[in-house]
Structure 1
């Protein structure tokens, strides 16, 4: 495979992983959509203004709960459709179909981000953590033929997405606003350290995430920084399964944690894509100079 083909393959693979992983999550474990659909302050004027229901009637209505569940399952089905559509993107001739699929997927991911911000009260940092996943969707939304994409622009915007994602990771790891408990638990289980040591490790990792996110935009250092992001992105994705794996419940362990790995693998694969993009650009420049 040429570098160009590898880049296209990685983009399609990343889209597939994000969508199929999220689809699995939605279907088996749900999505935080209730943080919006059951937001009294937000929806009371709408519910009481457009229907005969009081907020209490709406919030306690089993049909509403069933509707939210069905909506979540529908999103799961749509994301599965998106996953396979992106995997065979250039083989699908209907641009209207592709644009529709990408639009729906983009809406679902953005809505997911909004719900996560509300559900976990992490503020905009929680949304920034989804930057790579949303960026992948945007690539397909904006390009009917990804083989003709402008590589220079793609490299720049993917760098932005990677930087936002890892800055968010770093801020969480440093505990600037809040240190997620599962970060500490994973570190303790995998490294076998104490809670204090785990917090120190995460703090150092957080500093590196933020520092390297800045250095990513220094051309001479970009390749070395990307090696860090490739390694760290894949390791942090695999950490979900490794920390939660129970040899006594193998199938349940895979069921509960593999989807977390799947939709996070692009956190390492997108930096790998950028690595190939930079290498491909340098190769093209070299060939032009030789001619």
Structure 2
């Protein structure tokens, strides 16, 4: 039964990441221009491989249309990768599905790099995505969903979880900077003042850091992971509650549901590790008793 839960969670995690990103790219775009319109980076390429000057390239409506088209194609690829992930063990064509999911994962990496570039090289933004990278990678590493519940797999997933929570915690504590939307969401959902919201986020950030350490301590990892399941899902659904408006139901859902969907893995992946650890311990019990 645990094996089925593991397989199901791996597929759901990858599915939600790709589905949420597909919706985002199709309706709201992606930060590709942070790199594709970087003059210092692309001038040698543009002027060396085409007849465009940088000025022509940067102001060209054709280039802008191309970037928009590329974004839509990436969105459709994410959608296809989401469907493949959900029905991974039902679909044949091993190399084809590997290729599509690999390309989608590459685009997700590229989006992460563009986000860092767009925010003045704030590298923590990339580390926040590690959980979202992990589920598709797990699919690719276990092409037949023959999940190996060993310490290497579990520790690899824990590292991904820790990277995401540490980055999130450092932002919440304001050690790099405190994102304004963190404060706005906290005020709107909990009804706190700005100073109270800042304090709340600081404490939440400390807990993120502490739990990221505790998941590597065998006797405490279970409790830390349960906290991460709760907090990962809570912060995902916070986007929905903070962005919801009873006066504009459709538009508010349109602008916030996809944010929830691709962040569901922030709570589901810790749950996956919990189940994997539980199964591993059960398998070791007979050996320990003999």
Report the alpha carbon displacement of residue 103 of structure 1 after superposing the two structures with TM. 1.3
Report the alpha carbon displacement of residue 289 of structure 1 after superposing the two structures with TM. 4.4
Report the alpha carbon displacement of residue 188 of structure 1 after superposing the two structures with TM. 0.4
Q: Could you report, residue by residue, the CA deviation over 1:197-245 in whole angstroms, capped at 9, with x for unpaired residues? A: 1111111111110111011100000000011100000000000000110
The equivalences for 1:170-209 within 5 A come to 170-209=169-208
SS in 2 for 1:161: helix
1:149 maps to 148
Q: Cα–Cα, structure 1 residues 149 and 282, in superposed 2: closer, same or farther, change >3 Å? A: closer
2:130 maps to 131
Q: Distance in 1 between matches of 2:45 and 2:121?
A: 26
Q: Distance in 1 between matches of 2:43 and 2:74?
A: 24
1:114 maps to 113
1:237 maps to 236
TM-score w.r.t. length of structure 2 = 0.97
SS in 2 for 1:93: coil
Where structure 1 has 5 or more consecutive residues not aligned to the other structure, the ranges are none
Q: Distance in 2 between matches of 1:149 and 1:277?
A: 9
8 Å CA contact retained: 1:170, 1:207? yes
8 Å CA contact retained: 2:130, 2:163? yes
2:61 maps to 62
8 Å CA contact retained: 2:20, 2:259? yes
2:211 maps to 212
Q: Do residues 37 (structure 1) and 36 (structure 2) align?
A: yes
1:272 maps to 271
Report the alpha carbon displacement of residue 151 of structure 1 after superposing the two structures with TM. 3.7
1:104 maps to 103
8 Å CA contact retained: 2:14, 2:85? yes
Report the alpha carbon displacement of residue 284 of structure 1 after superposing the two structures with TM. 1.1
Report the alpha carbon displacement of residue 95 of structure 1 after superposing the two structures with TM. 1.6
Q: How many residues align?
A: 290
SS in 1 for 2:152: helix
Report the alpha carbon displacement of residue 45 of structure 1 after superposing the two structures with TM. 0.9
Root-mean-square deviation (CA, aligned residues, Å) is: 1.2
Q: Distance in 2 between matches of 1:37 and 1:70?
A: 13
Q: Distance in 2 between matches of 1:150 and 1:144?
A: 15
SS in 1 for 2:175: coil
Q: Distance in 2 between matches of 1:289 and 1:200?
A: 46
1:26 maps to 25
Q: Do residues 76 (structure 1) and 75 (structure 2) align?
A: yes
97-106 or 267-276: bigger deviation: 97-106
139-148 or 110-119: bigger deviation: 139-148
8 Å CA contact retained: 1:15, 1:86? yes
Where structure 2 has 5 or more consecutive residues not aligned to the other structure, the ranges are none
2:258 maps to 259
Q: Distance in 1 between matches of 2:228 and 2:147?
A: 26
